[in-house]
Structure 1
């Protein structure tokens, strides 16, 4: 088995990484950071997101497993205290594989695409951002405020949740559109509620994006000069290797 480890930059995570690597190497596994079949993420959700983007060019060929050493591990299957059990499962069990599609964000002017596991956001903290929203080329509404968030099922518990968006059950592939601090008054009204839609929808955002940022997962890109963004589900998937029973409800309860 070719594997790689991506660890959070703290002493505890490095310690877990060292134990994990020593044990797997002694068991005959091959450590290969360039061509892994399995990427083990030691840290939290941020570490896993970093690993997903690190291996984006090979994403459909890799499985991911998370070991939690941080403050929040929604994507992680084991805690550091369960390291011995995790190693046993890795060496003796065949995993179930759960796939989660990546959201594709395309900037038409630059013909450049970005990908997100959780969400994409258009944010402008300098001035009000006016965005025209089209769904499947049909005009939907004009939003005016700090910005727009479009999340996947996986991202429904992340930034979307802070916007009072719905938490989407595991196994449902949906998109959710939510406004960020919208301006509502007698001269301008928008839906002002999160909108959940099929994952086959294409969402087009148009506006003058001067001073705005495209935020995708933990990354960002300056939108100066851009005026059209197209979002849709991609053919790229993150494959999670699961060696034991997965309880979405249990993980959800750990959030609050």
Structure 2
């Protein structure tokens, strides 16, 4: 880590948090790290909070490919993105100085809405009905028409996002070393008139997914990108694929993805 010494801290600014983080700032400076106010000058971006704050840090700093991301939790809750705890920041700095860490790469989803500029997701992109009425979507895999979905919506998740919204709807937990993405239904209609696959399915990272809205009086769905809703109306098409970019995060050598899954859910 000797060639990565510029730190940018992303956290909720308040007097309480400033006081809580000051010992960490001082310790970082004492060990040769430089604190910068602009994330573009940093080569390590540190989020302080939980998984939600980590997602915000990655999004607000532009999914940077030329730096490392690090997550620090401030409570005792298990975290899937944060390897470090604020109460043990001495151990964190020691690990960084003595290379007791590894770089982990997380896949990212790219979503284009109505063929406009792409949005990126570390967890998932979801499309859901915004009214008390089902949404109808034609689902294409590459050039294959697959099904007409009717229900509350669809979730398209990354492997790391498979433990979030996706898991709460009975989707599978996927190893992040597999380059893929998962499609999971939200309350689909399956009867003599309507029919969908009725289960989540996993697509190779080489596949492309197209979701086209069907005009049935509900053409104003909500588009969710990780933990944010996009202010976009009149959705016609959502094109999803696995992005070429990955998020590089700092992890402890003895703390694998499945270690964190076990602590969180078992």
CA contact 2:10–2:48 (8 Å) conserved in 1: yes
- State the match for 1:20 in structure 2: 24
Question: Partners in 2 of 1:87 and 1:250 — Cα distance?
Answer: 22
Q: CA deviation at 1:16?
A: 4.3
Residue 187 of structure 2 corresponds to residue 181 of structure 1: yes
Provide TM-score, normalisation by structure 1.
0.92
Provide TM-score, normalisation by structure 2.
0.89
Q: CA deviation at 1:10?
A: 7.0
Gaps of 5+ in 1: none
Bigger mean CA deviation after superposition, 148-157 or 26-35: 26-35
Bigger mean CA deviation after superposition, 188-197 or 33-42: 33-42
Gaps of 5+ in 2: none
Q: CA deviation at 1:13?
A: 5.0
Matches within 5 A, 1:1-256: 1-8=5-12, 14-34=18-38, 35-56=41-62, 59-70=64-75, 71-93=77-99, 95-109=101-115, 111-126=116-131, 127-207=133-213, 208=215, 210-256=219-265
> RMSD between aligned alpha carbons?
1.9
Bigger mean CA deviation after superposition, 79-88 or 198-207: 79-88
1:30-54 C-alpha deviation (Å, 9 max, x unpaired): 1123211001111110011011001
After superposition, the Cα gap between the structure-2 partners of 1:220 and 1:230, relative to the gap in structure 1 and judged at 3 Å, is: same
Q: Number of residue pairs matched? A: 254
1:37-96 C-alpha deviation (Å, 9 max, x unpaired): 001111110011011001116x10110111111434111112223222112112332642
- Structure 1 counterpart SS, 2:240: strand
Bigger mean CA deviation after superposition, 186-195 or 1-10: 1-10
Moved beyond 6 Å, runs of 4+: none
